[in-house]
Amino acid sequence: MESLKGKIILITGASSGIGRATAFAFAAAGARLLLCARRLELLQQMEAPLREAGAADVSSFLLDVRDRDAVNFALANLPDEWASIEILVNNAGLSRGLAKLYQDDPTNWDEMIDTNVKGLLAVTRAVVPGMVARNAGHIINLGSTASHLTYANGAVYCATKAAERVLSEGLKIDLMGTAVRVTSIDPGMVETEFSQVRFRGDVERAAKVYENITPLTPQDIADAILWTASRPAHVNIHSILLTSIDQANSMVFHRH
C-alpha cells in the first residue's frame, strides 16, 4: 500500500454524498484536502471535523465546474503550497429528470452535459499538465453502471456517464509514457442526494428509488476510491464496477 499521508487531494463536488465521504476517507489517511463545490458553507462546516479525522490540512473554495473560466482561474491561482495536486477526484456530477428523450426538457440535458462531461474536462485540463510535468499523479473519475447499460428515460444521463468512461480510457492512452494513472469508479445505486437532485427536491419520489432495497453507501464508494489511490505507484486500476448485492446492473434489482 502506498502512503497517502501529506498528499494533496483535489475533490470536486465535495460538499455531500460520495465527495464528502471521500474527503473523510482521505482525511483518515492523513492527506491534505483541497475541496470545492457549489455550496461553500457546507465545505466550511466540514473543515474542523476533517482535521479531527486526521487530515494534515484542509482548504475549501467555491466552484461550479460548469464555468470553465472559473475553473481555470481558481486552479491557476492556487497558493503555492496547494498547487501540486497529486490526486484529482472528479466527483462533481448529477442527473436531472427521468423522461423520454423526445419529451424531456433540454435544460436538463445542458445541466448534465455541462457538469458531467464538460465540467470533468475543464478540471482535468487544468490539473493534468502539472501532473505530467511532475511525472506523477492520479485522476479518479466517478462513473456509473449507467455507462455500461442504458436504462429507460435516462438516455442523456447514461450518455454522459458513457462519455466519462470513454474519456477515462482515452486519457489513460494519452498519458502512456508518464507515471500518471487514471481510474474510473462506476457505482450502481448509492443512497445520496442524487435522486432528490434528479427530481428537483421531491423527497417522497426520491425515497421510492431506495424502497425495499439495500443500496450502496457513500462510504462504500469512498473505500473503493481510497483503495485505488493507495496501490503501488506502478499499478493502475483502470476501472471498478460495483453494486450492492441487490443490484445486478443499471436495470435489474432485487426488492424485498
Give the residue among 122, 147, 131 at the shortest CA–CA distance from 8: 131
Burial 200-209 (b: 16+ CB within 10 A, else e): eeeeeebeeb
Strands 32-37 and 57-62, bridge-based pairing = parallel
The radius of gyration computed from the CA coordinates of the chain, to the nearest angstrom, equals: 17
157 annotated active-site = yes
Q: Which residues, including other chains, have CB under 8 Å from residue 103's CB and lie 6 or more apart?
A: none
Phi, psi of 239 (to 5 degrees): -160, 155
Write down the catalytic residue from 102, 151, 157, 210.
Answer: 157
Enter the C-alpha cell of residue 183. Answer: 481510474
What CA–CA distance (Å, rounded) separates 143 from 127? Answer: 19
| 171: exposed, middle or buried (Cβ count in 10 Å: 0-12, 13-18, 19+) | middle
Residues with catalytic function = 157
